[in-house]
Amino acid sequence: MKKVTVSSLLKMKADNEKIAALTAYDASFAKLFDEQNVDVLLIGDSLGMVLKGEDSTLGVSIDEIAYHTKCVANGVSRAFVVADMPFMSYASAQQAYSQAAVLMRAGASMVKLEGGDWLLDTISGLVQRSVPVCGHLGLTPQSVNVLGGFKVQGRSDEQANRLLADAKALEQAGVQMLVLECVPSSLAKRISETLSIPVIGIGAGVDTDGQILVMHDMLGISANYMPKFSKNYLSETGDIRGAVASYIAEVKAGLFPSSEHGFN
C-alpha cells in the first residue's frame, strides 16, 4: 500500500472517498491501526485525559507529544501522521516554528493547531518553512476555560458565520486539512462543501470528508465517559482488530456517524 500523503488526502476529497482517522499514542496500536488501512493517525493532546487521567488537555507538554509521536511513527508504514501542538506551544509565531520542528523531527508529517484568525500569520509562516498544518475549529479543547466547558459550538447564526469565515481564512493561510469538533451537522456540511481541503469531523455529522475518534472512545475503554459523538465498536465485535476494521468500513461507507451521534 502506498503511503498516505497530503496529495493523496486532497485526492480522496476530490474523489469523494471518505477519510478514516484515529488517535494513537504508541507503536503497537499504531501498527495495528495501520495494518487495517486507517488513513490518518493523530497524536492528540487528548493523551492528557486518556493516558494521564487529567480532566483537560492543558497539562500536556511538547516533550510528551514528541515522545508519543516518535512511538507512533515507528509503528506506521502507510498512515499519515499528524501531531497536536499542545497548549501555549504556539503563542507566538517564533515559538510555533521551534516547537513544530520538534514534532516534525519526531516523525510527524503535519502539525495541528487550534484556533481561528489570530493564527493566520503563524500558519503562513509554518507553511513557508515547510511545515504542513492542520487547523482545528469548533470545540477547541485547549480553550475549555474560555468556552466555559466542553460545549457544542456554532449553533447561533453569528457563531456559524464566524466559524465559516475562520475556515476560509485558515485555508487561505495554507492549512491543508481541518478538524471540526462538536459543531452542528448542517454547519459542518456547509464548511466541507465550501473548502477545497479535507475536513475531518468529530461530533460534526456524516457530511464531512472524513471522521476521527479518540481510540479509547472507539474501543469503549475511556476512563471517564463515552461522548455522544462516539461509538463503542469493540462491544460489537469483541476483537480490537475487528473493531478498527468495522470503524473504518463504516466511515468509508458513510454509515458512521449516524444522526444519533451528531448535533442539530
Q: Record the cell numbers describing residue 122, joined without a space.
A: 503563524
250/228 Cα distance (integer angstroms) = 17
Helix 185-194 to helix 157-173 angle (10° resolution) is 30
Q: Calculate helix-pair angle for 93-106, 62-75, nearest 10 degrees.
A: 30
Under a CB-based contact definition with an 8 Å cutoff, are residues 50 and 97 in contact? no
Which are the catalytic amino acids?
Answer: 181
Q: Which residues contact 131 (CB under 8 A, 6 or more apart)?
A: 97, 100, 101, 104, 110, 111
Q: Which three cell numbers stand for residue 91?
A: 503563542
Angle in degrees, 0-180, between the axes of helices 157-173 and 120-128, rounded to the nearest 10:
20
Instruction: Give the residues across from 212 on adjacent strands.
Output: 21
232-262 burial by CB neighbour count: b if 16+ within 10 A, else e?
A: ebbeebeebeebbbbbbebbbeeebbeeebb
Cell of 263: 448535533
H helix and E strand count, the chain? 12, 8
46 in a labelled binding site: yes
Tell me if 84 is assigned to a ligand binding site: yes
117 marked as binding residue: no
Binding site: which residues? 45-46, 84, 112, 114
Binding site for 3-methyl-2-oxobutanoate: which residues? 45-46, 84, 112
Binding site for Mg(2+): which residues? 45, 84, 114
